[in-house]
Amino acid sequence: MTRPRSPDYDNIQESIVKQAASLFAHRGYAATSINDIAAACRCSKSRLYHYFESKDAILVFMLTEHVDKLLAGCNDILAGREDDVARFRRLIRFFMEIYAVSSDKHAVMLTCLEFLPTNVRKDVIKKQRQLIKIVTDILAKIRPDRARDASNAHIDAMLFFGMINWTYTWFKPDGDVLPTELADRAVSLFLDGYIKSKAL
């Protein structure tokens, strides 16, 4: 007979993922053992196995959930009725807010994809490419002249992601600047120059 889930199952599971993300981000996935995760969660390995069958299962759950959350949020924003610049600003605010509260998960997604099972890794990469396409398409609408060359349009999107993706290495969400303020600053620095620059 299957053991019933406790009312706080999801909260405990998320707490395990959060602790594991911190260890994977700061120590490295390969250097982190299931014993390390259990110790960080202050629980036994047997209790940990009630929520995840392995360290690999934690990583799969963590990164799948993270990329799905990003993609779902982007699709919700795309369904809005704002103009393209306003939509772009909302997208970047959303990214920065997620990065601020999930910096460890984001770091793991950037550095630990190689440890995912092949099929899961391919699915996560596919969804990452969908995120890139969303930004590419919006930038193309803002500056159609730059998007005539598909390669340039992709490069512009990748340059922008390069600017925001590594903020987790230095940005402190509890510091003087809020994630939304950082997002607006990033949009201003990138988009103002983007609008004024000549197509290459």
* Residue 14: per-residue pLDDT: 93
The domain spanning residue 115 has which CATH number?
1.10.357.10
- Residue 5 inside a domain? The answer is no
Helix spans in the chain (H): 9-27, 34-41, 45-51, 55-78, 84-101, 103-111, 118-142, 150-164, 179-196
Asked if residues 59 and 108 have their Cβ atoms less than 8 Å apart, the reply is yes
- For residue 18, is it within any domain? no
* Greater model confidence, 194 or 143: 143
Q: Are 116 and 102 in contact (CB under 8 A)?
A: no
The answer to whether residue 20 is domain-embedded is: no
- Is 90 exceeded by the pLDDT of residue 117? yes
135 domain residue, yes or no: yes
Q: Which domain holds residue 99?
A: 55-196
User: Tens of pLDDT along 150-192?
Assistant: 788 888 889 888 888 888 888 887 888 888 888 888 888 877 7
What percent of the chain lies above the pLDDT cut of 70?
A: 94
Structural domain contains residue 146: yes
Residue 29: inside a domain: no
Q: Amino acid identity, residue 108?
A: V
For residues 38 and 48, is the Cβ–Cβ distance under 8 A? yes
State pTM to two decimals.
0.85
pLDDT of 7-56, one tens digit each? 788 899 999 999 999 999 999 999 999 999 999 999 999 999 999 999 99
105-115 mean pLDDT:
93
55-75, pLDDT tens digit by residue? 999 999 999 999 999 999 999
The total domain count for the chain is 1
Mind listing the pLDDT tens digit for each residue in 122-137?
A: 999 999 999 999 999 9
Question: pLDDT exceeding 90 applies to what percent of the chain?
Answer: 53
* Burial class of residue 76 (count of CB atoms within 10 Å of its CB; 0-12, 13-18, 19+): exposed
CA gyration radius for the chain? 19
- Say if 24 falls within a structural domain: no
Q: How far is it, in rounded angstroms, from Cα 152 to Cα 139?
A: 11
Mean pLDDT value of segment 98-118: 90
Domain contains 115: yes
